[in-house]
Amino acid sequence: MVELSLSPLRKRVKSAVVRNTLYLASNYIIPKLTDETIIKISDKLNNFKAPAGKIFFDHIFVNLKRKLPYLSKNVKKGILNNFISNFLLLSGEKRKEFIEKNGFYPPLFYVISPTMHCNLKCYGCYSANYERKDMLSYEKINQIIEEGKSFGIFFYTFSGGEPFVRKDILDIIEKNSDCYFQIYTNGSLIDGKMAKKLADMGNVFPCISVEGFEDETDERRGKGHFKKVVSAMKNLKDNGMLFGFSATATRFNNNVIVSDEFIDFYVKQGCFLGWYFNYIPIGREPDMNLMPTPEQRNYRRKRVVEIRETKPIVVADFWNDGILSHGCLSGGRVYLHINANGGVEPCVFAQFAADNIFDKSMEDILNSMYFKSIRKEQMGIKNRLRPCMIIDHPDILRKVVAEGGAKATQEGGDSIISELKDKMDTYSQSYGKIADAAWEEEFDNGKFFYNYDGEKIKLNEDDYYRRSFYPLEGGKTVKNETKAQ
């Protein structure tokens, strides 16, 4: 009995020690550390198998160190207590319990769409054909999060729809003050009052959607919207918030959103991070002509790497950065999506569900044939430059949907595996030729960073050289003397 009663106490003491140490370090120690020391600390915190992933994680921590002096007290606490402490350091025991029971790791995070309602009407929107009346209740969202915590999940992303149209979205975040939340938003509702509220809570990271500069953004989102985005970013920056941008690449803005001018502009607005998404022909009036060409996608892939190496911002491309995450994230391997009707989808863009959170527990859904099939198929994809089952391996999407008994979750959602089938196959073959050549020439068929027998390949001299270059404020770079061990 004594041992049982002490265990929770030990956990609380350990948690308090970790949090207090991190907070003191953030104010008095971390700002004085060299980038080389930050990299060593980063390597202790992350468990990436692929060296490219380790380099990316280092990049996050080095840039975070530079941002710390500009963040509010509560935002610092949210990052340190919730993201680093709860998410990275203290969740291991619960995750271990899950894998011992189920034979696989739980997701690192969930994407939840609390509502599909939105105050904009952008053409090509991936979620436009969901029922606008669909909305997960306050109680259900909290139930999902509580169950997730029992698996060791303390990071949640809200998408939609526009999450901020829900009046209780901040109540959900505030109730789960031990978690860290990322919110994809169009930014139109982030006024000064909202920004201050987010900063006071401290455990929120807004990512504001942009299409480029004013012309590109207003053309897709409506006249005057770009100014609202800039205003929202100013409000967040003035309140000491950590935030970023989210950009969807189309055939018409692909090169703009990876230009130096674009990146420099959003760095100046205060963005810490930038996410890149590839337009997928789903949702409102799916159009293959909006998809970036295979050549454009490959150009973006190369530019994102260059941006990471030369600019003071963290950037990642969900379709081109499989080398960072060792492949596709979907199917619960790293994340999944719960839509506003409760349907559990493998990915925000793979809009097919076999189960609903109202009918089954998440643990049962992760163990379903549908999700197991997806994770199994992911293991067979060797080229990490084309990891996606939607646009790179559409035959896999069709196969797992059929075998798992999954159904489209929005009106017309099955067009990507029916009417657009031949066009998707043609696209995947065209990009496949480019990606396979790059995989062989640039990555030596994967031996560059990892072999498939499970043995790590040491980084070569050039890798360590790139790893030790980090951009400083003003676009300058410094060289740390990081040596291969």
List the chain domain ranges. 2-89, 106-379
State the helix-helix crossing angle for 394-404 and 421-443, rounded to 10 degrees. 120
Residue 18: which residues within 8 A CB-CB, separation 6 or more? 85, 89, 90
The residue among 114 and 31 whose pLDDT is bigger is 114
106-379 belongs to which homologous superfamily?
Aldolase class I (3.20.20.70)
**What integer is the mean pLDDT of 216-227?**
94
pLDDT band at 430 (very low <50, low <70, confident <90, very high): very high
| Range from 82-91, 171-180, 353-362 carrying the lowest mean pLDDT | 82-91
| Range from 180-189, 267-276, 449-458 carrying the lowest mean pLDDT | 449-458
Q: What is the 3-state secondary structure (H, E, C) of 75-133?
A: HHHHHHHHHHHHHHHCCHHHHHHHHHHHCCCCCCEEEECCECCCCCCCCCCCCCCCCCC
- pLDDT attached to residue 451: 38
Amino acid at 164: F
pLDDT band at 108 (very low <50, low <70, confident <90, very high): very high
Amino acid at 86: N
Q: How many Å apart are CA 26 and CA 309, to the nearest integer? A: 25
**What integer is the mean pLDDT of 16-32?**
55
What is the tens place of the pLDDT at every residue in 346-385?
999 999 999 999 999 999 999 999 999 999 999 999 899 9
**Residue 293 DSSP symbol:** P
Q: How many Å apart are CA 207 and CA 273, to the nearest integer? A: 8
**What integer is the mean pLDDT of 117-138?**
79
pLDDT band at 132 (very low <50, low <70, confident <90, very high): low
Residue 101: which residues within 8 A CB-CB, separation 6 or more? none
Residue 281: which residues within 8 A CB-CB, separation 6 or more? 287, 288, 290, 291, 415, 416, 420, 424
Considering only CA atoms, which of 395, 249, 388, 412 is closest in space to residue 331?
A: 388
The answer on pLDDT for 450 being more than 60 is no
Q: pTM score, two decimals?
A: 0.85
State the helix-helix crossing angle for 225-238 and 192-201, rounded to 10 degrees. 40
Omega cis (within 30) before 161: yes
Q: How many Å apart are CA 453 and CA 455, to the nearest integer? A: 6
- Between CA 412 and CA 222, with CA 219 as vertex, the angle to 5 degrees is 85
The answer on pLDDT for 316 being more than 70 is yes
Quick one: tokens of 454?
Answer: 């499970």
pLDDT band at 5 (very low <50, low <70, confident <90, very high): very low
Given a contact cutoff of 8 angstroms between Cβ atoms, the answer to whether 62 and 35 are in contact is yes
| Range from 199-203, 338-342, 371-375, 438-442 carrying the lowest mean pLDDT | 438-442
